[in-house]
Amino acid sequence: MQYALPLRSSARTALYRRVPTLLGQHTRLFSASATPHIHLWDHLPGEEIKEPREGLAKLKGKIREERFRRKPQINFAEHDRFDVVVVGGGIVGLATAREILNRYPDKTVAVLEKEREVARHQTGHNSGVIHAGMYYEPGSTMAYTCVKGAQMMYDFCEKHQLPVERCGKMIVAVNEAEHKEVEKLYHQGNANGVKGLEIYDSKKVSEVEPNVRAYSALYSPNTGIVDYGLVSETLAREIIDTGRADIKLAFEATRFDKLQDGSVEITGIEPAQKGPILSVNAKNVITCGGFYADRLAGLTGGNPHKDQVVTFRGTYYQLKPEYRTMVRMNIYPIPSGGGIPVGTHITPTLNSRRGHALIVGPGACFTFSREGYQFFDFKAKDVWDSFTNTSFWAFALKNLGLSFGELYKDINKRAFMRAAQAYLPDLTLDMVEHSFSGVMPQVFQKGGIAASDYILERKVLGGTTLNVRNAPSPACTASLAIGEMVTDTAAEDFGWPKIKR
Ligand SMILES: Cc1cc2nc3c(=O)[nH]c(=O)nc-3n(C[C@H](O)[C@H](O)[C@H](O)COP(=O)(O)OP(=O)(O)OC[C@H]3O[C@@H](n4cnc5c(N)ncnc54)[C@H](O)[C@@H]3O)c2cc1C
């Protein structure tokens, strides 16, 4: 599959001509006695496949222009009654809505999203990695949907000509003790059906990524990168193009009532406004609220105290443009974090908004607001919910070093970079600049156990509603397969006819 180059070739040539001068400033790398470790690739990943930068710009423009412009065949303004309402316009909600529309040609669907665009939260602020599936317990829903979803994601991007690249990934062990984890992940990945895994020794690691120092590494050729925001916009376009669906933006669902006729009245408001009151009616409701999943579940009559969400900010730095090609593929450390996804990795990006970069991150710092993209973002209700969550405290106390370490890393660049320097020793603080941050929800269960699989809450509100309570990473990779899984469950719970996928 093709992806657009970050620079036109003339600009690129100019950049590479400047590289020695720029690197010359790093005397440690270019001291007279030592052979320089640093190696900047003379071509970028995927460069051999030519596609002009304008291709991406045109495609983006087309998607933005066409987005939501096409008239639905049904006049929803008059009716506002749907077979299904999906709450949440992140990738999980959109993939679910698309799957229902594709599988049931007579159903009408509305997606309600509180923001003014789709994919505004987790889906639009993440690493953009298509995970291959080594991390997950064999037999888990996560393992199955990740491996299947990754393939579906590559196919979807190919069909819609979206930028995507199978750039590969190495999970690196920096010492002999960590090598055991490499072996474990290798066997786990094979058990999950991940193709092409290989264990590299130190020499092979240096051959393929000269700037990486490792004792050994697990190499996965099928790990890739994509822009999940762009994928979501494309899903939204497909949904609208069915002519049987509506995407209602700036609609924050605040109340769900089961009516006498068995349908559900969903009432809402435009966020931060008092009115007018918005309403829409549906036979069935599916909520996919990301880090508001527990609150939405509570509104629909689900159990708000079980599977409560605590949020963590994942901050990223990025390599300055002249160092952007320091590594070519995803470089990940051995996973740590007592069950929560912690570990500073390096990832090339293909983001239509933020561009081509090499990002370093994310951290996992406790937030004082569910939408805590900055350290000082604060919302009393969110803090109260986290501080009264006994399962979270049980986890935090068991992992004190991790909790304070991540908090410190979030405000101290030197500490943040130390994690990446363990395997990229030539990375210096002046090579990086601030990038974006994302907020990830984590559900803690009794005894401080971090939930490690997707959670569905079924047959809520008199059997009309299904709540997706936990959809953390790799839910973007897996989204299309999750859409299938949620639709299967909805069909079973709501008595829809069984239709083969
Ligand atoms: C830092 C970070 C890095 C990650 N990296 C990766 C990665 O590389 N690969 C990968 O596969 N996954 C990754 N993930 C995980 C992935 O981003 C999420 O699992 C996925 O985006 C979840 O999608 P979602 O639709 O459930 O949630 P979201 O994208 O958060 O969408 C939920 C939507 O619901 C809306 N909503 C909530 N309440 C209401 C309401 N009352 N009314 C109307 N709308 C409402 C919100 O506005 C939001 O748009 C990462 C996550 C983070 C945070």
Give the tens place of pLDDT for each residue, 176-232. 999 999 999 999 999 999 999 999 999 999 999 999 999 999 999 999 999 999 999
The C-alpha atoms of residue 454 and residue 436 are separated, in whole angstroms, by 26
Give the tens place of pLDDT for each residue, 76-122. 444 589 999 999 999 999 999 999 999 999 999 999 999 999 999 99
Reported for 325-328, long-range contacts at CB under 8 A and 24+ positions apart, including other chains, are 325/40, 325/41, 325/44, 325/358, 326/38, 326/40, 326/211, 326/358, 326/424, 326/426, 326/427, 326/431, 327/209, 327/211, 327/212, 327/358, 327/424, 328/41, 328/44, 328/45, 328/167, 328/168, 328/209
Q: Does 3 contact ligand 1 (Cβ within 6 A)?
A: no
With beta carbons less than 8 A apart as the criterion, state whether 247 and 113 touch: yes
33 within some domain: no
Given a cut of 60, whether residue 46 has pLDDT beyond it is: no
Residue nearest to ligand 1 atom 34, measured at CA = 88
Ligand 1 atom with minimal separation from the 94 CA: 25
- Answering whether pTM is above 0.85, one says yes
Q: Find the 292 Cα to ligand 1 centroid distance in Å.
A: 10
Q: Does 229 contact ligand 1 (Cβ within 6 A)?
A: no
With beta carbons less than 8 A apart as the criterion, state whether 341 and 440 touch: yes
Q: What is the CATH number of the domain that holds 85?
A: 3.50.50.60
Q: Find the 35 Cα to ligand 1 centroid distance in Å.
A: 45
Residue nearest to ligand 1 atom 45, measured at CA = 88
115 within some domain: yes
Mutation choice for ligand 1 from 85, 115, 123, 371, CB with most ligand atoms inside 8 A: 123
Given a cut of 90, whether residue 75 has pLDDT beyond it is: no
Q: Does 121 contact ligand 1 (Cβ within 6 A)?
A: yes
**Domain limits at 109?**
67-123+230-307+453-494
Give the tens place of pLDDT for each residue, 109-166. 999 999 999 999 999 999 999 999 999 999 999 999 999 999 999 999 999 999 999 9
Q: Does 438 contact ligand 1 (Cβ within 6 A)?
A: yes
Given a cut of 80, whether residue 341 has pLDDT beyond it is: no
388 within some domain: no
| 403 CB neighbour count, 10 Å cutoff | 18
Q: Does 314 contact ligand 1 (Cβ within 6 A)?
A: yes
SS (H, E, C) 187-211: HHHHHCCCCCCEEEEHHHHHHHCCC
> Average pLDDT in the 293-300 region?
97
The C-alpha atoms of residue 183 and residue 26 are separated, in whole angstroms, by 36
119 within some domain: yes
User: What DSSP element (H or E) covers 347?
Assistant: strand 345-348
Given a cut of 60, whether residue 54 has pLDDT beyond it is: no
Looking from the CA of 373 toward its CB, the CA atoms found within 13 Å total: 11
428 within some domain: no
The residues that bridge with 465 in the sheet, in sequence order, are 285, 460
Return the closest-CA partner of residue 182 out of 158, 208, 200, 165.
200
Given a cut of 90, whether residue 264 has pLDDT beyond it is: yes
262 within some domain: yes
Instruction: Give the pair of three-digit tokens for residue 214.
Output: 């490792």
Given a cut of 70, whether residue 31 has pLDDT beyond it is: no
Q: Find the 420 Cα to ligand 1 centroid distance in Å.
A: 25
For the residues of 467-501, what is the DSSP string, one character each?
A: EEEE--TTHHHHHHHHHHHHHHHHHHHHTPPP---
Residue nearest to ligand 1 atom 25, measured at CA = 90
Q: Find the 472 Cα to ligand 1 centroid distance in Å.
A: 8
Looking from the CA of 428 toward its CB, the CA atoms found within 13 Å total: 11
Q: Which residues of 275-308 are buried (b: 16+ CB within 10 A; e: fewer)?
A: eeebebbbbbbbbbbbbbbbbbbebbbbeeeebb
> What residue type is assigned to position 49 of the chain?
I
276 within some domain: yes
Ligand 1 atom with minimal separation from the 115 CA: 47
Classified as helix, coil or strand, 178 is helix
Mutation choice for ligand 1 from 112, 122, 313, 470, CB with most ligand atoms inside 8 A: 122
Ligand 1 atom with minimal separation from the 268 CA: 42
The domain total for the chain is 1
| 447 CB neighbour count, 10 Å cutoff | 10
87 within some domain: yes
The residues that bridge with 198 in the sheet, in sequence order, are 219
